[in-house]
Amino acid sequence: MIYLILSVLISSSLYVIFKLFDVFKVNTFQAIVMNYIVAFVIGYGYSDVKMPLSVIPQQNWFYGALVLGFLFITIFNVMATTSQRNGLSVASVSGRMAVVIPIVFGIVVYNESVSVVKVIGIVLALLAVYLTSVKSNKTKKFEASSLVLPIILFLGSGAIDTLLKYTELNFVSAENVSIFSASIFGIAFIFGLLFLLIEVVRKNIKLEMKSFVGGIALGIPNYFSIEFLIRALKIKGIESSVLFTINNVSIVLLTTLFGLFLFKEKLENKNWLGVIIAIVSIILITVV
Average pLDDT over residues 206-227: 88
Q: Please determine, for residue 95, whether its predicted confidence score (pLDDT) is greater than 90.
A: no
Q: Please determine, for residue 263, whether its predicted confidence score (pLDDT) is greater than 90.
A: no
Average pLDDT over residues 257-281: 84
> How are the residues of the chain apportioned to helix, strand and coil, as percentages rounded to the nearest 5?
80, 0, 20
Lowest mean pLDDT segment, chosen from 69-83, 125-139, 155-169, 174-188: 125-139
Average pLDDT over residues 187-206: 87
Residue 93: closest CA among 213, 20, 12, 173: 12
Contacts of 158 (CB under 8 A, 6+ apart): 98, 99, 100, 101, 102
Q: Please determine, for residue 200, whether its predicted confidence score (pLDDT) is greater than 90.
A: no
Top pLDDT among 56 and 129 is at 56
Average pLDDT over residues 176-189: 89
Average pLDDT over residues 224-232: 80
How far is the C-alpha of 209 from the C-alpha of 280, rounded, in Å? 43
Average pLDDT over residues 209-229: 88
Q: Is 239 left (phi over 0), alpha (psi -120 to 50) or beta?
A: beta
What is the predicted pLDDT for the residue at 286? Answer: 67
pTM of the model: 0.80
How far is the C-alpha of 218 from the C-alpha of 199, rounded, in Å? 21
What is the predicted pLDDT for the residue at 260? Answer: 82
Contact assessment for residue 114 and residue 288, using Cβ atoms and an 8 Å cutoff: no
What is the predicted pLDDT for the residue at 240? Answer: 60
What is the predicted pLDDT for the residue at 104? Answer: 80
Q: Please determine, for residue 139, whether its predicted confidence score (pLDDT) is greater than 60.
A: no
Lowest mean pLDDT segment, chosen from 116-125, 135-144, 246-255: 135-144
What is the predicted pLDDT for the residue at 248? Answer: 76
Q: Please determine, for residue 113, whether its predicted confidence score (pLDDT) is greater than 60.
A: yes
Contact assessment for residue 243 and residue 232, using Cβ atoms and an 8 Å cutoff: yes
Contacts of 188 (CB under 8 A, 6+ apart): 36, 68, 69, 70, 72, 73, 76
Backbone angles phi, psi at 78, to 5 degrees: -65, -40
Mean pLDDT estimate for the chain: 83
Give per-residue pLDDT as tens, 60-80.
999 999 999 999 999 988 988
Q: At what angle do helices 88-96 and 148-171 cross, to 10 degrees?
A: 40
Domain boundaries along the sequence of the chain = 2-286
